[in-house]
């Protein structure tokens, strides 16, 4: 980056929190969740992220149903430029963007950007310092040319098998593999940026849905290696602890876990289970696991006699793990999130106000990120092109030709 490049204005991208990646420029050729998640994390950490959209805007903006939240969740703190990558002029602008970038992120089908002349080798030739992050369904190997989705990876990689009851594979309740795969992409980018400090060279970073899934179920693979027995799906598993379950109450369910011998004593005293504490055969965790069929009916009857709030009040501050069973919409009013900066204000592209999760880390005690406004398609096209040295006449010509929008 040149000094003039570093001064490129970023309308609507104020960063009130820590911005350790300030000065890093990212160009995104992405859609849906996995690729945009990479840019969203980098942007929340202070990087300037330029989102390249097709003329008229990314189709992800217009998804319905479960996809309606994809764009606002994963495209905050970014700038938008619209390019027709099927035109020579649009491709020329894309190359100029990459020439002045530190990081490129893409998550299209295998070889899609290569066919446009925007693949890693071509971009390395014009910018040897570029970190090129390619987010795919599979890393290089037998499956690398297959098309994958979050759900495909969960099914293939064993996560859906572990989540649902036996014989009924069930995907997790969010785009967990897309997002985690994006996180691994960020880890690779940060590692590559650090290495660039030593070598001056960029490199190709790859992350993939399938391998991400396999990494997440690695604990179950290790269980098989250690015990010789395959892991059962989570709903049918033999728990490592006797009391580690969701319990019905007088109104709403609650999760309670007793995960140590010390907590067993505390649990018994808290609920006046003197006879159970007096039973020496139940003092050790593994003995309680073997006695689970005897213990659990008693505990379920006990918990069913309370309301959920009564249990929360009793368990709060005891050190016993517990959790009310919440829904996503409950998080808007969660007192902990609201007190700790866990939600940040976002102005949606229709002008509505929302509060969405902040990056879940602190740096020196501060949460990164700040209030943001989703960019309209191509909202920053003019300012980005001017910073690249394009004059108004050339920008106007490109717009008339439909190469930019």
Domains of the chain: 3-216+340-400 (3.40.50.10540), 239-327 (3.30.1540.10)
Task: Quickly count: other Cβ atoms within 10 Å of residue 237's Cβ.
Answer: 13
User: Across-strand partners of 323?
Assistant: 255
Q: Which residues 6+ apart lie within 8 Å of 372 measured at CB?
A: 12, 13, 14, 76, 77, 344, 345, 346, 347
Q: Which residues 6+ apart lie within 8 Å of 323 measured at CB?
A: 254, 255
Q: Assess contact for 259 and 321: CB atoms under 8 A.
A: yes
What pLDDT score does 16 carry? 64
The pTM for the full model equals 0.92
Q: Assess contact for 82 and 376: CB atoms under 8 A.
A: no
pLDDT for 269 beyond 80:
yes
What pLDDT score does 1 carry? 39
What pLDDT score does 14 carry? 39
The Cβ-side half-sphere exposure at 195, using a 13 Å CA radius, reads 14
Q: How far apart are CA 186 and CA 133, in angstroms?
A: 9
Q: What confidence tens digit (pLDDT) does each residue in 128-142 have?
A: 999 999 999 999 999
Q: How far apart are CA 93 and CA 74, in angstroms?
A: 24
What pLDDT score does 13 carry? 40
Q: Assess contact for 247 and 300: CB atoms under 8 A.
A: yes
What pLDDT score does 2 carry? 34
């Amino acid at each position: 980056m040149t000094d003039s490049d570093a001064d490129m204005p970023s309308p609507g991208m104020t960063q009130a929190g820590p911005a350790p990646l300030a000065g890093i420029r990212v160009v995104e050729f992405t859609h849906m969740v996995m690729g945009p998640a990479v840019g969203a994390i980098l942007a929340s950490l202070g990087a300037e992220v330029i989102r390249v959209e097709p003329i008229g805007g990314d189709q992800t903006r217009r998804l319905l149903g479960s996809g309606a939240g994809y764009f606002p969740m994963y495209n905050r703190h970014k700038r938008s430029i619209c390019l027709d990558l099927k035109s020579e002029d649009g491709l020329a602008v894309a190359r100029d963007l990459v020439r002045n970038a530190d990081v490129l992120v893409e998550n299209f089908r295998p070889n899609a950007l290569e066919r446009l002349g925007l693949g890693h080798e071509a971009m390395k030739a014009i910018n040897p310092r570029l970190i090129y992050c390619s987010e795919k369904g599979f890393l290089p190997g037998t499956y690398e040319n297959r098309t994958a989705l979050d759900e495909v990876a969960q099914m293939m990689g064993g996560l859906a098998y572990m989540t649902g009851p036996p014989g009924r594979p069930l995907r997790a309740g969010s785009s967990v593999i897309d997002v985690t795969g994006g996180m691994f992409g960020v880890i690779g980018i940060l590692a590559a940026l650090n290495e660039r400090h030593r070598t001056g060279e960029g490199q190709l970073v790859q992350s993939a849905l399938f391998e991400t899934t396999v990494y997440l179920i690695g604990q179950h693979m290790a269980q098989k290696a250690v015990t010789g027995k395959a892991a059962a799906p989570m709903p049918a598993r033999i728990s490592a602890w006797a009391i580690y379950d969701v319990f019905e109450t007088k109104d709403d369910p609650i999760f309670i876990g007793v995960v140590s011998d010390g907590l067993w004593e505390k649990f018994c005293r808290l609920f006046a289970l003197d006879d159970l504490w007096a039973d020496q055969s139940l003092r050790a965790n593994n003995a309680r696991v073997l006695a689970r069929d005897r213990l659990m009916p008693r505990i379920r009857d006990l918990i069913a006699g309370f309301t959920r709030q009564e249990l929360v009040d009793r368990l709060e501050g005891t050190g016993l793990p517990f959790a009310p069973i919440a829904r996503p919409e409950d998080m808007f009013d969660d007192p902990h999130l609201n007190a700790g900066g866990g939600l940040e204000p976002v102005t949606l592209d229709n002008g509505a106000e929302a509060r969405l999760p902040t990056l879940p880390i602190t740096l020196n005690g501060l949460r990164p990120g700040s209030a943001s406004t989703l960019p309209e398609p191509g909202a920053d096209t003019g300012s980005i092109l001017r910073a690249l040295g394009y004059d108004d006449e050339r920008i106007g010509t490109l717009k008339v030709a439909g190469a930019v929008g």
